[in-house]
Amino acid sequence: MTKITNLTEVKAVGKYLRISPTKARRVLDQIRGRNYKDTIMILEFMPYRCCNAILKIVKSAAANAEHNKNFNKKDLNTTACLAIQLVKIMKRFQPRAQGRAFPIHKPTCHISIYVGTES
């Protein structure tokens, strides 16, 4: 993670989400470095399924910043976004022809979002 001076950050984490980390990173790359209002607008209008979970985490981080550090929501920026792939993968099997089984791997991830303001 890049280190930025004179920055106060607050984070929120969503754990064990049933989202592929590569698909989550596609959305997180779009919101990284933007202010809170733009981030909310982008997430509401993007057509991906993971946007709902990421929107909840962004709103949680903003609420943490407002309640714990007395920040104003309009001054917040999304400073860092991470999607960490977990080793725990749900494994399922789909029946195929002639008695075979086809493995299906359902990945999970943790999503961390840091919001902050310049001091």
Note the CATH architecture for domain 7-118.
Alpha-Beta Complex (3.90)
CB 33 within 8 A of CB 78: yes
Return the pLDDT at 2: 55
Return the pLDDT at 113: 94
Scanning the structure block, which residue is given the tokens 């407002």?
A: 66
Using only C-alpha atoms, the chain has a radius of gyration, in whole angstroms, of 17
54-12-40 Cα angle (round to 5) = 40
Return the pLDDT at 67: 92
From the first residue on, what is the mean pLDDT of each consecutive set of 10 residues in the chain (119 residues)?
63 92 93 92 93 94 90 89 89 94 94 85
Separation CA 76–CA 117 (nearest Å)? 5
CB 68 within 8 A of CB 10: yes
Identify the three-state secondary structure at position 22: helix
Return the pLDDT at 7: 63
pTM for this model (two decimals)? 0.84
Nearest to 51 by CA among 28, 82, 68, 70: 28
Return the pLDDT at 9: 86
